[in-house]
Structure 1
Amino acid sequence: MKNKLLAAYTVVMSLSLSVTAETETEIDLNAFAQQYFKAMVATQAPDATEQDLENYLALLTDDIGHSHLPYVTDDSRQPDGKQAMRKGMTFYLGAHTEHNAELLDVFTFNQSAIAIRYSNSAKGIHPQHKQAISYSQIMMEVLEMENGKVAVIRKYHQ
């Protein structure tokens, strides 16, 4: 009888811990989308700082995968994914003299994905070839989530 009670107690505790673990990782994806968009836009501002970049990167897994078609087509997750994004984004940090963005739509898919659609426009000087840049576009980013952070980013132009 003691063994049956112990077994029943173990099962109940396991289920309880499992449910608790699931609820701890669940987040409000709409709120996360707003936070993500605000942090991402801050990295594109003319006065963007390394702290703005770190605030954005804090929302990503260390092994983040990223594609931005047609420029970056491989979205494989790599152990140094966040470090590679930090290096690439630091190169362009502060390159804009003007930047505007507006969040148009947010779509959430259980706890696994977010899609954000936004318009943005920018002007500036490209840091490598020192030529003027100017663009206006509609973008969609699909964010695959893992344990409350973005694990894969897929960017698409309309």
Structure 2
Amino acid sequence: MKSWLFALLFFVFSMSVVAEDERKFDLKQFAQVYFSTMVSTQAPNATEKELEAYLALLTDDVGHAHLPYVTDDSRSPDGKQAMRNGMTFYLGAHTEYQAELLDVFIFNDSAVAIRYKDSAKGFHPQLKKAFSFTQTMMEVLEIENGKVAVIRKYHE
């Protein structure tokens, strides 16, 4: 009887520790890690190492919209692989890249938005034409089990 009671108490204690760990997930810190990891994928010298570090922050079935260009943010089993394919195509396209995190907005424990300004110069990998831009972006990230499940990108 004593061992059964001990096992029950251990289980209850373990579950409370797990619940406490889940509450400690810091969305603001996660947003800052996400931003710096995403920025590293845009650097002129970015490699698959930086890309894989970014992709590790996403669920396998991540949904992604980049309005107004990509409007469907549906999650699919190969969402991360689709992101990998798209990002690999543009990897190293920038000759210059800078970004500044402007704001972080927290929504409950399930979403965060980051607003940032970035600028880049480079060559389009398919068109072989030079490009240059400066823009202010907002990314709304839906979080599930400590990973990004849906990304919605908006231009200012």
TM-score, normalised to structure 2, is 0.89
Corresponding position of 1:53: 51
Corresponding position of 2:151: 153
Query: How many angstroms does 1:17 deviate by?
Result: 5.5
What secondary structure is seen at the aligned counterpart in 2 of 1:52? helix
Residue 74 (1) aligns with residue 72 (2): yes
Quick one: distance in 2 between partners of 1:15 and 1:108?
30
Q: How many residues align?
A: 152
1:115-158 CA-partner distances (Å, limit 9, x unpaired): 00000000000001111111100000000000001000000000
What secondary structure is seen at the aligned counterpart in 2 of 1:128? coil
Residue 21 (1) aligns with residue 18 (2): yes
Quick one: distance in 1 between partners of 2:66 and 2:15?
36
Deviates more, 1:80-89 or 1:21-30: 21-30
Query: How many angstroms does 1:24 deviate by?
Result: 2.9
Name the amino acid aligned to 1:142.
V
Structure 1 portions without partners, runs of 5+:
none
- Alpha carbon RMSD of aligned pairs, Å? 1.9
Corresponding position of 1:87: 85
List structure 1 runs of 4+ shifted beyond 2 angstroms.
12-26
Structure 2 portions without partners, runs of 5+:
none
